Structure 1
Amino acid sequence: MDLATGLNLVSLPWVREEFEYRSYEMLEDLGNQTQVSSVRRYDNTRGWQTTSWFLGSASGVNFRTRPGEGYLVYMKGEKESWRPY
């Protein structure tokens, strides 16, 4: 999928239940700290959870992603043909 500069709403395709893809992995797959700012999701019990870059390393909540759940991805630049996993 192509991602635009700024806010993108992203959902992931179906995978087997035992497959684990965490937000730190997603952030790193999206790009480095000059390309992507953060990945966020809303949890009904905990509120907003954010993974972002801090001093060159992924930081914040390393939440487990789920197929069909929506994520807010803040890009600093465009990214073409991004594929999760």
Structure 2
Amino acid sequence: MSALLLAQIQPIPTPQIEWSAVSPLLVLVGGALLLLTAAALTRSRPPKGFYALFTVATAVLAAVCSALMWGRVTDPERGAFS
């Protein structure tokens, strides 16, 4: 066996990710990718106004995610998401 395989590997220290803070962006990107994929893979055209309705629904969901996060950034002593 190679000495490299037997060597102890030190874990890499990584920052903690607060996924709820990124949720509005994830909702917007996910909605855009879902709409793009659905439009590319279907042959028939959706009913008139479907794209606009889907876009508004995605924006409302992102706004709800932002509103749920609004009260979490309150303590300037401890920093964001205290």
Please, what TM-score do these two structures have when normalized by structure 1? 0.22
Between Structure 1 and Structure 2, the one with more strand by share is 1
Structure number with higher relative contact order (C-alpha < 8 Å, ≥ 6 residues apart): 1
Higher CA-based Rg: 2
